Amino acid sequence: MLYARLIPSIVRSMKLIPLYLLLCFVVACTPSTQQHTEWRSYLGGLDRNHYSTLSQITPENVSGLKIAWSYSAPDSGQMQMSPIVVDGVLYGVTAAVQAVAIDAATGKEIWRFGDPLKVWHSTSRGVTYWGDGADKRILYTIGPHLYALDAHTGKPIPSFGDSGKVDLHTGLPPHAQTKFIVSNTPGTLFEDLIIMPLRVSEGSDAAAGDIRAFNVRTGQLAWTFHTIPYPYELGYETWENKETYKNTSVGGANNWAGMAVDAERGLVFVPTGSAAPDFYGGDRKGKNLYSDCLLALNARTGERKWHYQFIHHDIWDRDPPAPPNLIQVQRAGRTVDAVAQVTKQGYVFVFDRDYGQPLFKINEVPAPTSELKGEATWPTQPVPELPRSFARQSYELTEKDISPYAENSAELLEIFKKTDKRLFAPPSLNGAFLLPGYDGGAEWGGAAADPQAGILYVNANEMPWILSMNRTTDTQPSRALTLGEATYIAHCATCHKNDRTGNTQSGYPSLVGLEQKRGKPSILQLLSTGKGMMPGFPQLAANEKNAVADWLLGMEKKEVGSTVASSYSLPYKHAGYNKFLDSKGLPGITPPWGTLTAIDLNTGDFRWQITLGETSELGNAPTGCENYGGPVVTANGLLFIAATKDGKFRAFDKNTGKLLWETTLPAAAFATPAMYEVNGKQYIAVACGGEKLGTKKGNTIVAFCLE
């Protein structure tokens, strides 16, 4: 589009140049003719479309793919990282959050950055590249810090921030300065700015989720957008408590999933998370702007141009899980530059990029009222007429949808009957049937797109969960507690249970016998930094951390603590993350349990939908399975995706959904691949870390090419 707008002025200023030279210029600059040999940005580009024009690998020869090289990291575990490739070098992050540079043609390590004696246990989805002449930088995060590394050497750049790093607490309000923050997703570049995602706690100790841009050269804060508005800002009126912007027990509305940039318009499109605390919003009544929104901001200044809110007063953790896609669609014979946002609930919302006008009608449907004392649900919620949801909704299920594979179907049926399955059923003491589940629907892997054709490709989970609440008074032990046990119950028991047995089927390990696996220094580090998707608790005092570590190790003295856990200030507490599973640990509803869908955003219709993944417990039946990590799509008709619990890597015909090739990876790859070309050869690389969903750990990045 930019080139088309420039052509008239070029013609006027170049009257003496032969016409054929002008035509050569236009052809050379047309995006559809360019070969994107690199993968310079997270998910393939600032449009976040996971899209490649490389054509050496075709639907006809894709079955000939073989492993070209593999790189083994010095650590193992969950890798959600999607690599980038610049100047023949692949940049990524290991499971222990060490940045690595690898020869993209051979897999040979060039450099690695990170303290091997201080292992971080967060997850990282990759790095950001910036260059200006000889100055080439890799920007990525460790814990709460943003680092700038020399792309050639991996050494920190002294002129950036404080000796090469910036504390991402910079610019947050004073009450958030000591709270837990990390950034799991790479920052988004615009000119000399990097706009940073931020992950915060989801409880009453959450930091504010303000969107902030930093100067890539200096590390200085450039601008801030307040996602919980201040008194003089639009949106302030949507919070009943007018002190919320400085309230220490309300936070969130952060961007954690990443962003997309329209460089021509100078706009950054930012999906925001839910307000915290999750699941009970009695302390944050109102519509709660700018939580659960798509924000269109001026990328140079942070000024809001438009917004759309997907969930009003979110009490389900239904925030957008991935960056939006910047695409073109056809409307009434004209091409419209659009932005499409996938959601955990399985909806796709499509807007005109300039003004935020919905391209399909969105209805505000009535939503049920909460029965929890002090809660005030919003009376309506938005649902698009098209496209229809690419994942089943709980209200669509009947008793016939209990899994035919379940040996305890009668037990499952009783639970199913008791739970609330209405659309937008609010959290309750009796439980709401959450489908799609907490993770989606769509999840952080995001959607791929054919940007000129207007086709979106999205993988989804169909794992049901039970969302229940407990009265806080009912969960408080009647006996006096030590400081360590009281701190554990306040901050850890929701996931790991009061008795420390955890919920391994839902991904929360047992802490029984922890003393045989970890020492006190390791536990103290985990409490500060977190592990994987477990948040850290830097706001805890040193004596509280020591006490909970001693209690977990059976070493705490029996003096009774005097602190009151912060989460006890709420009248209701989340009962934990519980999947609706049968006795074998499989989803308690009929398949499919994982899907892949092609959606035509010109019409809102599905092109096709297939199951994604197999279930080994059922003899590798094609039921679909849980999946995390997104697809890559090519201009010449291919779609590649790993993502599945079964550990496979697959290629499909993007036009029909037909499986063309599959292979078993060294470990499950819960990550989005990268496609690139080096020395005339096309590669596709994916990180295989495993560990999630009970799969075996891995530590490799694997690249495939044709022989």
Rounded CA separation 632/655 (Å): 14
Q: What residue ranges do the domains of the chain occupy? A: 2-33, 126-323, 469-575
pLDDT of 185 higher than 50: yes
DSSP H/E element including 542 = helix 542-552
Q: Given this chain, do its domains 126-323 and 469-575 carry the same CATH topology?
A: no
CATH code that applies to domain 469-575: 1.10.760.10
Rounded CA separation 496/568 (Å): 17
Tens-digit pLDDT profile for residues 535-545: 667 667 777 77
Q: Which pLDDT does position 548 carry in this prediction?
A: 79
- Decide: 295 and 302 in contact? Cβ < 8 Å: no
131 forms beta bridges with 136
pLDDT of 305 higher than 80: yes
Tens-digit pLDDT profile for residues 339-359: 999 999 999 999 999 999 999
DSSP E strand boundaries for 75-144:
84-86, 89-93, 99-103, 109-113, 128-132, 135-142
Q: Which pLDDT does position 531 carry in this prediction?
A: 66
pLDDT of 20 higher than 50: no
pLDDT of 706 higher than 80: yes
Rounded CA separation 652/640 (Å): 6
Q: Which pLDDT does position 27 carry in this prediction?
A: 36
Percent of the chain having pLDDT more than 90? 78
DSSP H/E element including 365 = strand 362-366
Q: Which pLDDT does position 52 carry in this prediction?
A: 98
Rounded CA separation 700/146 (Å): 25
Q: Which of 270-284, 305-319, 538-552 has the lowest mean pLDDT?
A: 538-552
First to last CA, the chain: 38
Q: Which pLDDT does position 118 carry in this prediction?
A: 61
Average confidence (pLDDT) over 225-235:
97
Q: Which of 119-123, 241-245, 345-349, 449-453 has the lowest mean pLDDT?
A: 119-123
Rounded CA separation 321/258 (Å): 9
- Decide: 607 and 599 in contact? Cβ < 8 Å: yes
234 forms beta bridges with none
pLDDT of 40 higher than 80: yes
pLDDT of 376 higher than 60: yes
Count of residues for the chain?
Answer: 707
Neighbours of 473 (CB within 10 A): 10
Where does the pLDDT of residue 23 fall: very low under 50, low under 70, confident under 90, or very high at 90 and above? very low
Q: Which pLDDT does position 436 carry in this prediction?
A: 97
Q: Which two tokens stand for residue 120?
A: 């971080």
pLDDT of 169 higher than 50: yes
Where does the pLDDT of residue 479 fall: very low under 50, low under 70, confident under 90, or very high at 90 and above? low
User: Domain 126-323 maps to which CATH number in 2.40.128.630, 1.10.10.10, 3.30.300.30, 3.90.1150.10?
Assistant: 2.40.128.630
Instruction: Strand 51-52: give its sheet, edge to edge.
Output: 51-52, 632-634, 638-641, 648-653, 659-664
Rounded CA separation 497/191 (Å): 47
Q: What angle do CA 409, 415, 421 make, to 5 degrees?
A: 115
pLDDT of 707 higher than 60: yes
Q: Which pLDDT does position 120 carry in this prediction?
A: 59
Average confidence (pLDDT) over 548-568:
63
Q: Which pLDDT does position 3 carry in this prediction?
A: 39
Q: Which pLDDT does position 34 carry in this prediction?
A: 45
Where does the pLDDT of residue 473 fall: very low under 50, low under 70, confident under 90, or very high at 90 and above? confident
Tens-digit pLDDT profile for residues 396-450: 999 999 999 999 999 999 999 999 999 999 999 999 999 999 999 999 999 999 9
Where does the pLDDT of residue 200 fall: very low under 50, low under 70, confident under 90, or very high at 90 and above? very high
Q: Which pLDDT does position 9 carry in this prediction?
A: 43
Where does the pLDDT of residue 82 fall: very low under 50, low under 70, confident under 90, or very high at 90 and above? very high
pLDDT of 568 higher than 50: no
pLDDT mean across residues, the chain: 90
Q: Which pLDDT does position 546 carry in this prediction?
A: 73
Where does the pLDDT of residue 472 fall: very low under 50, low under 70, confident under 90, or very high at 90 and above? confident
pLDDT of 21 higher than 60: no
pLDDT of 641 higher than 90: yes
Distance of CA 536 to the CA centre of its chain: 18
